[in-house]
Structures are given as C-alpha cells and as structure tokens.
C-alpha cells in the first residue's frame, strides 16, 4: 500500500472531497486508511458504568476508515501520485510520479 501512517493526504472522492488530514492508521489487508477529521460517523454505544461509578456511552462521534483509492498523498502542498523505485543503495523507496516527480538533477523525488 502506498499510503502510510503519518502521511498527509487529501480526499479526492466521497462526501468529504477536498478535505486534508493526517493518516492515523492504515489497514493494508482491507486497503483502507483512517484519516484525522475525515469521514466522521456517529456511533451509538451502550451506557455502562465504570468501577468508580461514572457512566460512559451514548452517541460518540469518531472517524471511520476510507478506501485508499479515494485519497492522494500531499507533497509540498500538491496532491501527487506515488510509486516505488529501487534507489542507489538497493532499498525500495516511495517516489513521486508525474511532471513534478523529478529533482533539479533529474532524480526521482523520494517521499
């Protein structure tokens, strides 16, 4: 999966289209990511008592996971496509694709 935890992404499809946020968690098996402040849902939880007698529960607002195809990585303030390349040291690294993907010396920008 090309989107990792800690990346800044922009939503490109869905009800929150155009929203930017930081990836809180990624789920590679289901190809989904949890983005801060995006795809907020209301979850109804059962009211229960803690050991000290305080009540917890009710209607809680939280983020829900969004499919990775509906987000794009943000680099230098622009939404970019991401690919993988093997660098000079033999390590597999994420690189920016497209017209803004090259540095001044012609090498691919690492993310």
Q: What's the pLDDT tens digit per position in 51-100?
A: 777 778 889 899 999 999 999 999 988 899 999 989 889 999 999 887 76
User: Is the residue at 88 inside a domain?
Assistant: no
pLDDT confidence of residue 109: 74
pLDDT confidence of residue 103: 67
User: Is the residue at 23 inside a domain?
Assistant: yes
User: Is the residue at 58 inside a domain?
Assistant: yes
User: Is the residue at 83 inside a domain?
Assistant: no
User: Is the residue at 94 inside a domain?
Assistant: no
CATH code of the domain covering residue 70: 2.30.30.30
Q: In this predicted model, what pLDDT tens digit does every residue of 8-46 receive, in sequence order? A: 999 999 999 999 999 999 999 999 999 999 999 999 988
User: Is the residue at 81 inside a domain?
Assistant: no
User: Is the residue at 51 inside a domain?
Assistant: yes
**How many independent structural domains does the chain possess?**
1
Beta strands per DSSP E along the chain: 8-11, 20-27, 32-35, 40-49, 55-63, 66-67, 71-75, 78-86, 92-97
- Mean pLDDT over 104-110 rounds to 68
């Amino acid at each position: 999966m090309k989107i990792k935890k800690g990346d800044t992404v922009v939503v490109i499809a869905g009800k929150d289209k155009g929203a930017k946020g930081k990836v809180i968690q990624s789920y590679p098996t289901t190809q989904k990511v949890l983005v801060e402040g995006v795809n907020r849902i209301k979850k109804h939880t059962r009211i229960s008592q803690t050991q000290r007698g305080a009540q917890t529960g009710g209607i809680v607002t939280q983020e829900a996971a969004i499919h990775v195809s509906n987000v794009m990585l943000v680099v230098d303030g622009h939404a970019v496509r991401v690919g993988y390349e093997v660098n000079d040291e033999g390590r597999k690294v994420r690189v920016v694709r497209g017209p803004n993907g090259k540095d001044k010396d012609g090498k691919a920008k690492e993310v």
